Amino acid sequence: MTKRILVFAAMLIASLLLVALAAWGTGALWFQLPAADIVRKLALAAWLVLGVAALVCLWRRSYAAPAVWLVLLLALMAWWSTIKPSHDRVWADDVARMVTGKVDGGVVTLDLVRNFDWRSDTDYTVRWEPRQYDLNQLRSVDVAMSYWMGPAIAHTLVSFGFSDGRYLTFSIEIRKERGESFDGLAGFFKKYETVLIAADERDILRVRTNVRDEDMWLYRLKMPPEMMRSLFLAYLDEGEQLKATPRFYNTLTGNCTTIIYQMARRITPGLPLNWRLLASGYLDRYLYDLGALQGQGGFDALRQNAHITARARAADKDIDFSERIRH
């Protein structure tokens, strides 16, 4: 009886592994096979039929079909390893440049800060500007959460405030090719590279609330000055790394929230892992539970005060956009 149970357990584990790898292969072929749609569909159908045949034969203790499927899987993995990220593509205008900076004492010079004037998602004035910031004047760090696909998913941006009233926002994003749009499932299959954008708030926050009709919350973090400075410099380091070595975006492990967490954990090693880092729409509750949010009252009061969508839409192109969304 014990032997039968062990055999059944082994067969079940092998079956689950086969199904998982077959599902991965399906996504890899669909999103990355460089062929016409009809060819991809035929390849996909053949892969799925062989996968089902391998699963059935496995339970019948016939191993020819599973062996053939395994050989094809290894070939698929070998092909997959040849797909590399690149900086050399025809990029969409808003992610065509990648920020880097130089630090001289406490002064940071950024080469490419985005400051687009958005009239619609396809009608805008392109502006990339060099800017200087004095880290000795760094006074605040805010986290913006922009909801575009239900309550569990939000895009996370981090905005640094300076004593002269300026704000600079960093955003980890997919580097879309021209005419391309985001697909969460495709993000698991090397479909997009990663880019770091530094931008003026009137560009990068306003385009989400006023042009793309996203819903946004903005929270002030409790953070000592030395930690603010370390986080700012961590973004510059991330930009240098991305510029030197292109990297694929991953919907689960390498997205706008998890990369921020990885940078923050280098500054605060004890920062705990939590499922809300993956379900990024609940990141604010995670930060609240850590005691990282400034403000009075409980979480519901903080969240209500942090809701800036209406204020952003009212401020629109106002020169005091950053001040108005905070008051």
| Whether the predicted pLDDT of 182 surpasses 80 | yes
**Per-residue pLDDT averaged across 89-100, rounded?**
96
pLDDT above 90: percentage of residues in the chain: 82
Question: Quick check: helix, strand or coil at residue 264?
Answer: helix
**Per-residue pLDDT averaged across 89-116, rounded?**
95
**Per-residue pLDDT averaged across 160-167, rounded?**
97
Which pair of tokens denotes residue 253? 């492990």
Let me know: does 106 contact 190? Beta carbons within 8 Å: no
Domain boundaries, the chain: 1-82, 93-325
Q: How far is CA 80 from CA 33, 44, 263, 326, in A?
A: 10, 15, 28, 47
Distance CA 176, CA 119 (A): 20
**Per-residue pLDDT averaged across 106-123, rounded?**
96
**Per-residue pLDDT averaged across 245-270, rounded?**
89
Dihedral angle sign, alpha carbons of residues 302, 308, 310, 311: positive
Write down the pLDDT at residue 242.
94
pLDDT tier for residue 267 given thresholds of 50, 70 and 90: confident
Q: Give the pLDDT confidence of 115-162 residue by residue, as tens digits.
A: 999 999 999 999 999 999 999 999 999 999 999 988 999 999 999 999
| Whether the predicted pLDDT of 325 surpasses 90 | yes
pLDDT tier for residue 6 given thresholds of 50, 70 and 90: confident
- How much is the pTM? 0.91
Average pLDDT of the chain to the nearest whole number: 94
**Per-residue pLDDT averaged across 227-254, rounded?**
94
Q: Give the pLDDT confidence of 271-323 residue by residue, as tens digits.
A: 888 889 889 999 999 999 999 999 989 999 999 999 999 999 999 999 999 99
Write down the pLDDT at residue 288.
94
Write down the pLDDT at residue 1.
57
**Per-residue pLDDT averaged across 2-18, rounded?**
89
- Lowest-confidence range among 106-115, 233-242, 249-258, 279-288? 249-258
pLDDT tier for residue 178 given thresholds of 50, 70 and 90: very high
Q: How far is CA 71 from CA 25, 46, 65, 79, 173, in A?
A: 13, 14, 10, 13, 36
Which pair of tokens denotes residue 174? 């997919």
| Whether the predicted pLDDT of 165 surpasses 80 | yes
Write down the pLDDT at residue 233.
95
At residue 141, φ and ψ (nearest 5 deg) are -135, 125
| Whether the predicted pLDDT of 266 surpasses 90 | no
